[in-house]
Structure 1
Amino acid sequence: MRFDAVPMPPTVEGRPRDERGYPVPAITPWEGDEPRFALTDYARSADCARERRCSVCDVLIPRGPVWRVVGAAESAAIGEALAAGRPYRNLTPTLEGPGHRACMLYASMVCPYLARPNARRGLGAERPDDLTSHVVRGAARGSLGAVVGFADYEFAVTADQVLFRFLDPVEFLPHDTADAHLDELRAELAARRG
């Protein structure tokens, strides 16, 4: 599905765009006039964490659940825990911050890496630390991703990164290809307008 065929949340519409027209998430760093989609801007991520702002649109997330998009391994772990009636908490922190439900549904469909199981990380995705060593150029997302709602999140701002942990899943929307969320996104946007 083309990114411009996906309904855009109003909070995302005002974001800066790259030369193709893709909206640039709040935590994406820039090199000159070019966004570096595969990387995370430390200062912007820290500001979003501290001020409870969405990592996609940079607008305040109201108290209550937060959402994020997860890859294959975490999606499988959450699905297994929920199916077995066990609690789930990501004990290994992640660099990916939370956002609004509509923004994460949207991101899951327009980000090529998040949207398809065979999509691969682009240039600039390398990270030097153990936490993100799996995020390398050319790495495939793998089968089954998910948009997951959590009751809340915790974060720590270190000298060079922002680490997140997410608490108590409240919604689990798995996908092989993210266009499976199109009806959910449309319904979410309609509910926000109404």
Structure 2
Amino acid sequence: MMHAPQSAVGLPRRMRHLEVDHRGYPVIATVDRSTEGVDFGAVSERRKLVLAAFDWCAVCGMPFADEPRRQSVYDNGPLPSALTSGEAPVHEVCALYAAQVCPYLFSPRSRLGDDMRKGTVRDPVMRFAGFRSTSAVTARESQLQPGVHTLHFEHRGQADEFSYRSPEEIRDRFADVLAREKDLPVSDPEGALIRPFSRLDEGGEVTGAALVAGAAFAKDVFAMPGLEPFRGKHHLTVAGLMLKGTEEEIREFSDGSQDEAFGAVGPWVLERTGQFPLALQRWRARGQGMVRRPAPPPPPGPGRTVAKNAPCPCGSGRKARRCHPSGLAG
């Protein structure tokens, strides 16, 4: 359960679109949910995949834009040049908010309550490092569950960091960051993906959209928990269209979709061409070797639309197969 009523702590503007549970707490982006209830201790791997593909915050589910992303660090030593974590990154204002309402982040005596880590005590000092980019996201086999893969995020370009023992130590920082909070740039296609993703009844539609945007090409992606319903050829086939299809083909697919997220992912891919999040860029680059490029239509002219032994239309009097064997330019 959460530590304090949501009304006791200022809510960042970027979190106001989130639905709330029966107690009034915002349901953060990374946790599993349904209309029957929310388990704040259950992190969803399929939702982490969406966050990685579209480069969204694990708390508010909004884009990072040009803001640093914060990652919790469970080590007191110097930060490496590249930090890898099994947790998805968050905005600074979202991290500071969570530190005041989440019991595990709030109190140094808190213990985790999920089945896999039950009894784990929070580190006395909580440390959050800021990075300029998430350079890669990979599915790795879990040390706790052999055969099950979980996502790990690699960050580069350290910006700064902050740490605390109790929330009192960061309240001034939170007030300052909250006062300077900026509205995040969200295009119409991205907004059409964020809206269903934040609903309590989101049944995986946006996960499917992330897969066809390119996440389906990530190695071992379908070995992750929650991805079982997405196995098969359909998402890979559509991902191939989003990777190598023409703009007309992509728009035609999106316009014909009855699913809100699938209808938005094509326009999102088209507007982001050349500027995809780094993790998605890597997945799509891997997909280049997995997707067969469609054969071009035969050009008009002899050797193609004209029988090979027919007179060449160029007027030479020779047979088409000897005169213009590769076709005649229109």
TM-score (norm 1): 0.78
Q: In structure 2, what is the Cα distance between the partners aligned to 1:30 and 1:10?
A: 22
1:46 aligns with: 49
Answer yes or no: is the 8 Å Cα contact 1:105–1:147 preserved in 2.
Answer: no
Task: Verify the 8 A CA contact 1:9 1:189 in the aligned structure 2.
Answer: yes
Distance 1:27 1:106 in 2: 15
**Mean CA deviation greater in 151-160 or 110-119:** 151-160
What CA deviation, in whole Å up to 9, does each residue of 1:9-43 have, x standing for no partner? Answer: 11112212222222111010025522121121122
Question: Structure 1 residues 117 and 98 mapped into 2: Cα distance closer, same or farther (>3 Å)?
Answer: same
Partner of 2:97: 106
After the TM superposition, which segments of 4 or more aligned residues of structure 1 sit over 6 Å from their partners? none
Could you tell me which residue of structure 2 aligns to residue 152 of structure 1? Answer: 133
Unpaired runs of 5+ residues, structure 2, are: 141-147, 184-330
Q: Secondary structure in 2 aligned to 1:105? A: helix
Q: Which of structures 1 and 2 has the larger relative contact order (alpha carbons within 8 angstroms, sep 6+)?
A: 1
RMSD: 2.3
Q: Are 1:177 and 2:157 counterparts?
A: no
- Secondary structure class of the residue paired with 2:41: coil
Query: 1:103-131: per-residue Cα shift (whole Å, max 9, x none)?
Result: 11111221110111101112xx234xxxx
SS in 2 for 1:29: strand
Match of 2:39 among 11, 36, 40: 36
1:117-132 → structure 2 map (5 Å cutoff): 117-122=108-113, 125-127=114-116
Identical positions, percent: 25
The 2-side partners of 1:49 and 1:182 are apart by 29
What is the number of residues matched between the two proteins?
Answer: 172
Aligned to 2:82: 89
- SS of the residue aligned with 2:31? coil
Question: Matches of 1:107 and 1:68 in 2, distance apart?
Answer: 13
**TM-score, normalisation: structure 2:** 0.48
- Higher Cα Rg: structure 1 or 2? 2
Does the alignment pair 1:141 with 2:122?
yes
Q: Distance in 2 between matches of 1:191 and 1:43?
A: 32
